[in-house]
Amino acid sequence: MLSLIGLAVIVTMTTLLIMGRIAPIVGLTVIPFAGALLAGFSFTEIGDFFGEGIGAVLDVAVMLIFAILFFGIMNQAGLFEPLVRLTVRLTRGNVIAVCVGTVLLAAVCHLDGAGASTFLIVIPALLPLYRHLGMSPYLLLLLAGMSMGVLNMLPWGGPVARSAAVVGMDPIELWRGLIPVQVLCLVMLVVTAVLLGLREQRRIAARAGSPVHPETLSGDQRQERIEEHELVSASTLGSTQGSTQGSTQGSTPGAGSRGSTGRFGSTGGSGDSGGKGSAGGSGETAETTHSARAHEFTGEADDLWGGTENAAATPRWRMIVNTLLVFGMLALLISDILPAPLAFMLGLSAALVINHPKVSDQMETLKINGGAAITTGAIVLAAGCFLGILEESGMLESLATDAVAILPGALIPYLHLIVGVFGLPLELLLSTDAHYFALLPVVEGVSTQAGVSTLAVVYAVLVGNIIGTFISPFSAALWLALGLAGCDIGKHIRYSFVPMWIFSVVALVLALALGLIPWS
């Protein structure tokens, strides 16, 4: 009974979020609360579950609120504009190069195994570039998430450490067997980044009015284009004109513009926000159209980070001090000298004093950036309610146990492979702790009785699941990333699920081909 209620809670919440039929805060609080009542728990017990869940995410929520405020002030000061211009010059506005750079940067930053700090470094650094080129912020989350998943195979990564603890092995010893798979996955990451970059380049070209005509596409391709537009469009049809004006005023000509012109040609007809070209030429260059589409596309991110209209007026000394402040913040995060929430509180205080000496200006800046910060922090706290009720009530553990128990006997020798193949979809049903501390012991116990080695079970469960860590609504770090990027979890799951699952299955096949996991 507990398993069925837990499954109903998770499926209902996830489905409604993906369909966009419910706000995250509503889904993360009302649905699990109703499920707990239906399961027979008292208000006192539910309150205890809630307290445990809030305690687990409180640090993340506080850090997220102050991190968004901190990076919002840095962005308003124009701190990231030189980085964007430099990167555009280095990549010449090449979308594929940016995608490859994203996975490499995320991999390097995630060497410490901390998802929150990696997102705090990667997203603020790359989001302005993605906005400048009109690239999807959901692509940024997808690439960074996959890269971080591969790096989670390190012995100090959460999944490996949890797996080692469950089966009583040394994490280093467990990792040694994973090294060939991890190396191949890193190569596969770059290949995937190139393929996704090509897809993104084609989407941008279509939106900018390049000579890719709808009649030359198949029905499936046209539908894919419509779905992609629905996923990444952050503004309505009525905002196109205003977005174009804002982008024209805020764009910086130079290498990035030359890169755009090189891809799209010198001229092109304008198109509406649905991606359809207008009947007549407007005299608008493809470069201007690309800039307008980029601004239209990133409306959510613009709202999140605030404007940069004062960037040009920022004194050089202040830019230098802001740069030192950001590097100091990153050093504190990496060294773990101070708790991350306290570090961002101190960083925000310093940023306010440096960039806005007047108290009235400080309060105005907090108002500008505070809406997104408080909203996202509230969502993370609501996620804590969701996690606390499902984990502390035993719903997740019961669900993991019963899912294995209903399998036919003929499939038992292949149970580890089945769990591996469906490891990523299970991320939508089970938290990381539930996956490794509840599901893995059950799978290991059943599979070893069928003659499968413990090591093979661990590798199958680990490799099949690890890429999907940052698509799970149970991941607090994911909510942090969504807040930083101004993205919606439902759209993120729809955008990233299939590429991540394909990557996970291919990684599992590589492990099988290398002999790391036997077939039975």
Q: What is the pLDDT of residues 114-169, one digit of tens each?
A: 777 788 888 988 888 898 888 999 999 999 999 999 988 888 777 887 788 777 77
Distances (CA, A) of 208 to 133, 230, 287, 381: 11, 16, 8, 39
d(CA 206, CA 135): 12
Mean pLDDT of 39-67: 87
**Domain membership of residue 478 as a residue range:** 2-26+395-513
Instruction: Reply yes or no on whether the pLDDT at 92 is more than 60.
Output: yes
Longest distance between any two alpha carbons in the chain, whole Å:
73
Question: Which pLDDT band holds residue 430 (cuts at 50, 70, 90)?
Answer: confident
Mean pLDDT of 71-89: 74
Question: Which pLDDT band holds residue 506 (cuts at 50, 70, 90)?
Answer: very high
d(CA 320, CA 299): 29
pLDDT for the residue numbered 308: 44
Residue carrying the six token digits 């960083």: 347
Instruction: Reply yes or no on whether the pLDDT at 227 is more than 80.
Output: no
pLDDT for the residue numbered 329: 85
Mean pLDDT of the chain: 76
**Does 156 map to a domain?**
no
How many domains is the chain partitioned into structurally? 2
Q: Is the dihedral of CA 348, 350, 354, 357 positive or negative?
A: positive
Same domain, 368 and 418: no
Same domain, 348 and 374: yes
**Does 519 map to a domain?**
no
Same domain, 504 and 471: yes
d(CA 176, CA 163): 14
Top pLDDT among 464 and 17 is at: 464
Answer with the one of 351, 375, 393 that is the final residue of a domain.
393
Same domain, 403 and 490: yes
Residue carrying the six token digits 């128990």: 405
pLDDT for the residue numbered 493: 92
Same domain, 386 and 399: no
Query: Best-predicted range by mean pLDDT among 61-75, 248-262, 475-489, 503-517?
Result: 503-517
**Does 144 map to a domain?**
no
**pTM, entire model:** 0.62
**Does 43 map to a domain?**
yes
d(CA 298, CA 292): 10
User: How many other C-beta atoms are found inside a 10 Å radius of the C-beta of residue 438?
Assistant: 21
Would you say 248 and 202 are in contact if contact means Cβ atoms under 8 Å apart?
A: no
Weakest mean pLDDT among 44-48, 78-82, 420-424, 474-478: 78-82
**Does 220 map to a domain?**
no
